[in-house]
Amino acid sequence: MSVPAKPRASPLSESMLSPLVPARLSLAPDGTPVSEIYGDVYHSAGGGHTQARHVFLAGNGLPARWRGRDSFAILETGFGLGLNFLATWLAWRNDSRRCRTLRFVSLEKHPFAAADLAMAHAAWPEFADLSERLRRRWPPLVAGEHEIGLDGGDVDLRLVFGDAAETLPRLDGAVDAFYLDGFSPAKNPELWSPLVCRNLARLAGQGATLATWSVAGGVRRALGAAGFAVEKRPGFAGKRQMLAGHRAGGGNS
Ligand SMILES: C[S@@+](CC[C@H](N)C(=O)[O-])C[C@H]1O[C@@H](n2cnc3c(N)ncnc32)[C@H](O)[C@@H]1O
């Protein structure tokens, strides 16, 4: 069994990256958070927490795959409102057989201010305590890396603020599970690009898996060309299908 190295980056400082444009919280008429920049919703209208569990956790075989491990590393494209992170943290806390350390690296070009997160998270009472703890440690909206130790350091959240096209190539380490959660590939193609997919493959540890709600042909081709084997699975809510995959031929360790 491989023991993943902590995903590390060569120090990413603000001066190396383009300045940040923070996100602003807006709601669609049905109450779903929507991005004014991308013209797309942050999660399925069917529910952010349930989507996280169905697509990202179950799609990566979690929580089962972190059991018996010393540490388990997840990398997410698009932290957004942090719902996938909160769902993962909650599932980890509720699992008596969890790995000792959960490492969660998330890339975000347009981070929210803590006050916006508080407003958005109010829709999920089950996250109230974790949301508050996250927001107490929320970093300034400055490009670069922000490491947040939670649960006494057993949960290691690393927020990488900046454009993934700039930040992803500078990361290293061995990732066990990828959450691919950009906006729709038609509206946010740069987060699903061949460059991004190649860098994900470079970071894939032994047995690494991925999951995403998108089954777009361009996404499947870019992931396939980068070395991931992908398959369609039943999707969540309005989506007939989703994608799950693994790094074909192993990965780095
Ligand atoms: C669908 S939302 C993610 C939702 C999130 N995973 C959650 O659990 O709340 C997509 C996110 O990708 C971010 N994003 C879009 N393009 C990006 C890029 N080039 N680099 C980094 N983040 C990007 C957006 O700002 C947005 O927050």
Measured from the Cα of 165, ligand 1's closest atom is: 19
Q: What tens-digit pLDDT sequence spans the chain (253 residues)?
A: 233 445 454 467 777 888 899 999 999 999 999 999 999 999 988 788 999 999 999 999 999 999 999 999 999 999 999 999 999 999 999 999 999 999 999 999 999 999 999 999 999 999 999 999 999 999 999 999 999 999 999 999 999 999 999 999 999 999 999 999 999 999 999 999 999 999 999 999 999 999 999 999 999 999 999 999 999 999 987 788 999 999 987 667 6
The amino acid occupying position 188 is N
DSSP letters of 109-160? SSPPPHHHHHHHHTT-GGGHHHHHHHHHTPPPS-SEEEEEEEGGGTEEEEEE
Residue nearest to atom 6 of ligand 1 (CA): 79
Counted domains in the chain: 1
Ligand 1 pocket mutation, candidates 76, 183, 184, 187, criterion most atoms within 8 A of CB: 183
Residue nearest to atom 27 of ligand 1 (CA): 80
Cα–Cα distance, 98 to 88 (Å, whole number): 11
> Cα(180) to centroid of ligand 1, in Å?
9
**Does the CB atom of residue 178 touch ligand 1 within 6 A?**
no
The domain of 62 spans 20-247
The amino acid occupying position 211 is A
pLDDT, position 46: 77
Residue 220 forms part of a structural domain: yes
Q: Is the four-CA dihedral 10, 11, 14, 20 of positive or negative sign?
A: positive
> Cα(182) to centroid of ligand 1, in Å?
5
Residue 190 forms part of a structural domain: yes
Q: Which residues contact 214 (CB under 8 A, 6 or more apart)?
A: 180, 182, 184, 185, 192, 242, 243
> Cα(163) to centroid of ligand 1, in Å?
10
Residue 252 forms part of a structural domain: no
Mapped onto helix, strand or coil, the DSSP state of residue 196 is helix
Residue 13 forms part of a structural domain: no
Residue 158 forms part of a structural domain: yes
Ligand 1 pocket mutation, candidates 12, 41, 60, 79, criterion most atoms within 8 A of CB: 79
The amino acid occupying position 170 is R
Question: Which residue, 63, 43, 57, 76, is CA-closest to 175?
Answer: 76
pLDDT, position 90: 98
Ligand 1 pocket mutation, candidates 40, 86, 181, 190, criterion most atoms within 8 A of CB: 181
pLDDT, position 221: 98
Residue 14 forms part of a structural domain: no
Residue 3 forms part of a structural domain: no
pLDDT, position 253: 62
CATH of the domain at 145: 3.40.50.150
Contact of 168 with 161, CB cutoff 8 Å: no
Question: Which residue, 14, 143, 147, 135, is CA-closest to 81?
Answer: 135
**pTM of structure:** 0.94
Q: Is 1 exposed, middle or buried (0-12, 13-18, 19+ CB in 10 A)?
A: exposed
